[in-house]
Structure 1
Amino acid sequence: MKPHRPLLATVLIPAAFFVAACGSSDNDNKSSASTQAAATTTATADTSCDKANLSLVKSGQLTVGTDKPAYPPYFEDDNPSNGKGFESAVAYAIAGRLGFAKDEVKWTVVPFNSSYAPGPKKFDFDVNQISITPARQKRVDFSEPYYTAPQAVVALKKSGAANAKSLADLKDAKIGVQIGTTSLDAVNDTIKPSSQPKVFNDSNDVVRALKNGAVDVVVVDLPTAFYLTAAQVEDAKIVGQFKAPGGDQWGALLQKDSKLTSCVSDAVNKLAADGTLKKIEDQWMGAAAGAPELS
C-alpha cells in the first residue's frame, strides 16, 4: 500500500496588465513594443510544448514509468501498456495531449520508493499513485495533480450498512476511523453521525474493528479502501465514496527541474478542463470499480 498524505499546493498564475497610453507618441511606441514582446513571449511559450521541441529521455518516444506488479484499478492485467486502468488511461491521455500516438509510448519498470529518490531519471514521467508532498518536491518535480483521493465507506458484506445508498443512511451507523487522519474530519464534517465515531490508533486496529464487528463501517481514503477490500478483508465491500476536504493528491513525477514538467502540467490542466480526467476517473475509480458516489 502506497503512502498517502494531503497536499498544500500553490499555483502561481501570471497576470498581464494593459495601460492605455494617453500621452506622447513615445509612450505609444513603448506600449506597442511591450505588447509585441508579450506576444512573442506567449508564442514562444505556446510552441515550447510542441512534440518536436520536447526534451525527452529517448528521442521520438515518451518513456513512462510505473512499478511492477501493477495493480487494479490503476492498471489491469499487470500490463500498463494496454491502456486499461485509471493510471494507464491517464498516462495515455497526457501522451495524446503532448502529441504522441499510443505506439510511441514506452513503459519502464520503476520501483515506487526509487521513483522519488534524487538524481537522474530513465523516464520522462512516472505515474504510480504518488502523493505530492513537500519533502518529495525537494527531490523531484510533480505535474499539476491529476487525481484527488475522495473518502470511502467500507463495510462487511453481511452488514446492514453495506446497503447504504447515501450518507444519510450512515447517520446511525457505528463508524470506525483512524486518529489524526483526514478521514476523521470527513466523518465529523460530512457524514455528521448521530454518535461519535470510534477512533483507533492505527490502520491495523481499524481493520481489526471491522473484522470483529466492533464497528458497522470504517471510513478511509478510496485508494486504501481498494487495498483493504482486495487484500485485507475479503468479505468486505466498498459501500461508496464521497468528496471531502483535504484529499490526497497525486501527480505525474518527473526529474527535478525537468524541462518537460510545465508541458505535462499543461496537458493535465487541459485534460481536467475538457472533462477527460473526470471521465477516466468515473470509468476506473467510480461505480464500475465498485465505488459508487454517496451524497
Structure 2
Amino acid sequence: MSALPSRLTRAISLVGATIAIVALAACSSSPSGSTSSSSSQGLQTLTAGKLTIATGQPAYSPWVIDNKPENGQGFESAVAYAVAEKLGFAKKDVVWTRTTFDSAIAPGPKDFDLNIQQFSISDERKKAVDFSSPYYTTTQAIVTTKGSPAASVTTLDGLKKVKIGVATATTTYTLLKKEVGGNNIAVFNSNDDAVLALKTGQIDAVATDLPTAFYLADAQVDNGVVGGQFADNSGGDKFGIVLAKGSPLTAKVASAVDALRTSGELDTITKKWLSTTVNVPVFK
C-alpha cells in the first residue's frame, strides 16, 4: 500500500516540472523587443521569415525616391514598410524585387508576396489577382509650367482666372466643372492634345489625375510643375496592393491597410509624400 502514495508523489512532481518547462519555453520564445519577428511566424510567404515585395523597374518619384524602395523613402515604399510592420516583419526582413506592371496582374504564379506600383483595383483584374483594401484614391491635379500664371495659384477662385485644358469624358472633367466651372475650361479629345495646347501657349494648365500629372510634369512638359491638387477625390481610381490569386496573405494585408487607415498613419504618409515633400498643395 505504501507504493501508491510514492507513485502519486512522483507523478505530481513530473506534471509540475513539465508545466514549469513549458512556461519557461514560452517566456524565452518572446523576449522583449522581438514581437515583430514572433508575430510574423506562421504566415505563409515565399521565403520563411521574409516578406518579398515587388515594385516597378524603374520606380519613379514620388512613389519611390531615387529608384530605391529599400530606403523607405517615397509614398509606396513607406506604405509597403508600414504594411510589413503590421504583418509583423521588421524592415530587415523585407526583400525587394522588380516586375513589369503587366506581368504582375497577369494570371499565374508570382515571385513576390506583395506588389505595389499604382495598380488601380478593377473587377477585370480581380479575375487574375487579389487586391488589398485601397491604400490610395487618386485626386485630380493641375499641371503647368514654371512662370505660368497658373503656377502661383493656390485657391479654387484663382483657378477660375486661368485657362485650363482637360480631356473630355473623364473624371477630371466632371470634377473641374464642379469645382471651377466657367468659360475658362478648354476640352480636348485626350491628355496628349491638352499637353500640346499647353506647350503652344493656348492654355495655362492641364487638369488630370495626380499620378498622370507627375508623369506629365517630369516627362512631357518642359519646366513642368504640378501646381496643386483638389481635395475632392470622389470618382478617383483606387490603388491596391496586388497578391497572387487566392493568396493566404490577402485578408491579412487588407486588414493591415485598414488598420493603417483607421489609425491615421496612412493619411500621414499620404500628406508627407504626395503633398508636402513634392510641394503639391491642396487647392482651398
Query: Which range, TM-score by smaller chain?
Result: 0.7 to 0.9
Residue of structure 2 aligned with 1:199, choices 182, 187, 212 = 187
| Aligned 8 A contact 2:72 2:81 in 1 | yes
1:56 maps to 2:40 = no
Residue of structure 1 aligned with 2:218, choices 230, 249, 252 = 230
> Matches of 2:47 and 2:274 in 1, distance apart?
32
**2:28 corresponding residue in structure 1:** none
> What CA deviation, in whole Å up to 9, does each residue of 1:252-282 have, x standing for no partner?
0000111110000000000001111111111
SS across alignment from 2:252: helix
RMSD value, Cα:
1.4
> Matches of 2:197 and 2:279 in 1, distance apart?
22
Aligned-residue offset at 1:59: 0.8
Aligned-residue offset at 1:244: 3.2
- Normalised to the residue count of structure 1, the TM-score between the two structures is 0.81
| Aligned 8 A contact 1:121 1:255 in 2 | yes
1:214 maps to 2:202 = yes
> Matches of 1:157 and 1:186 in 2, distance apart?
24
| Aligned 8 A contact 1:172 1:195 in 2 | no
**2:101 corresponding residue in structure 1:** 112
**1:138 corresponding residue in structure 2:** 127
> Matches of 2:281 and 2:79 in 1, distance apart?
20
Q: Which runs of 5+ in 1 are unaligned?
A: 1-49
1:240 partner amino acid:
G
1:153 partner amino acid:
I
> What CA deviation, in whole Å up to 9, does each residue of 1:115-166 have, x standing for no partner?
0000111111100111111111110000000001101012222221211111
Aligned-residue offset at 1:79: 1.0
SS across alignment from 1:207: helix
> What CA deviation, in whole Å up to 9, does each residue of 1:201-250 have, x standing for no partner?
11210110111111122110011111111111122211101123111111
Percent identity reads: 46
1:205 partner amino acid:
D
1:246 partner amino acid:
G
**1:168 corresponding residue in structure 2:** 157
SS across alignment from 2:176: helix
2:183 partner amino acid:
S
| Aligned 8 A contact 1:210 1:216 in 2 | yes
**1:40 corresponding residue in structure 2:** none
> Matches of 2:161 and 2:183 in 1, distance apart?
7
1:256 maps to 2:221 = no
Pairs aligned (count): 246
Q: Which moved more, 1:258-267 or 1:151-160?
A: 151-160
> Matches of 1:194 and 1:61 in 2, distance apart?
54
Q: Which runs of 5+ in 2 are unaligned?
A: 1-38
Aligned-residue offset at 1:196: 5.6
| Aligned 8 A contact 1:172 1:194 in 2 | no
1:166 partner amino acid:
T
> Matches of 2:260 and 2:222 in 1, distance apart?
35
1:1-295 matches, cutoff 5 A: 50-191=39-180, 193-195=181-183, 197-242=185-230, 243-295=232-284
- Please tell me whether Structure 1 or Structure 2 has the larger radius of gyration of its CA atoms: 2
